[in-house]
Amino acid sequence: MKDPIQKYFQVGTIQWMSFPNRAPMESLKAIARDDFFGAIELKGYGSPEANAEAKAILEQSHLKVCYGAQPRLLGPKLNPNAIDENERLKAEATLLEAVDEAEYLGAKGIAFLAGKWEEATKAEAYQQLLKTTRKVCDYAATKGMNVELEVFDYDMDKAALIGPAPYAAQFAADMRTTHSNFGLLVDLSHFPTTYETSKFVIRTLRPYITHFHFGNAVVKPGCDGYGDLHPRMGYPNSANDTPELLDFLRVLKQEGFFNAEEPYVLSMEVTLRPGEDEDIVLANTKRVLKRAWALLED
């Protein structure tokens, strides 16, 4: 492409993935000082004082702020589709808190993921997830905010209720019958973990996608980094590198997601394997994105 990628996407990174070892304010400033990025995905900073400090940095930055509520669920193992209603309500409560925290930090919405499921109660879990998501969407709508569900693997690592893509499409269609502020977040890292391709996922979910991630995964059993661990692009025995990212971008272009007027967020979700360096892995990811973009046909 002759045009820079920033014409069509707000390129972002996920702070807690890119900088797992650095102090949060230090890594926040590193991203805010890097004009390659037009967006940042963050979680809360742990205290009102730290959130206030982060808010001041973000207000200076001109970054689009996105809020990831996934850690709020994964850390304490909360399940928004829990069959036990008390457990479901715990997940719902933290997601409602996330909406408030996201609003304070300048985000226009939150993203989260479905919880684990069992085959015997899958239909009931689906209804429980609809209940949670509708409540969160109701609350977000009062603030003019959106809610996104990230599509994960269903049987490899996270074993989340949503996806694969056809099931995610069914859920999104059900949500859109009642809430226009709901959308799906899709991640190239997860396509290998759901045994799907970029073309299949994007075309299946086309009406509902509001946000993109890209990264990598190892899906060969027994290999280092197996599962949903987001190693660097081109990691040994992994699924994604420059050709796969080029294919992903090509499908996004074909399906009309290049939008210069209202660009979608496209965030890199890549983190470290033992002994790796944060800045080198981040540079690796930028290089792969730049190369894939350069190879993309106008």
Residue 163 near residue 154, CB atoms below 8 Å: yes
Residue 144 structural domain: 5-295
Query: What is the model's pTM?
Result: 0.96
pLDDT tens digits, residue range 68-89?
Answer: 999 999 999 999 999 999 999 9
Rounding to the nearest 10 degrees, give the CA dihedral for residues 222, 226, 232, 235: 20
- Measured distance CA(137)–CA(77) in Å, rounded: 21
Q: In the structure encoding, which two tokens stand for residue 128, read together?
A: 């429980």
The pLDDT profile of the chain, 298 residues, written as one tens digit per residue, is 999 999 999 999 999 999 999 999 999 999 999 999 999 999 999 999 999 999 999 999 999 999 999 999 999 999 999 999 999 999 999 999 999 999 999 999 999 999 999 999 999 999 999 999 999 999 999 999 999 999 999 999 999 999 999 999 999 999 999 999 999 999 999 999 999 999 999 999 999 999 999 999 999 999 999 999 999 999 999 999 999 999 999 999 999 999 999 999 999 999 999 999 999 999 999 999 999 999 999 9
At 118-130, the pLDDT tens digits run 999 999 999 999 9
CATH number at residue 142: 3.20.20.150
- Report the number of distinct structural domains present in the chain: 1
User: Residue by residue, what is the 3-state secondary structure of 39-68?
Assistant: EEEECCCCCHHHHHHHHHHHHHHCCEEEEE
Q: In what helix (H) or strand (E) does residue 229 lie, and over which residues does it extend?
A: none
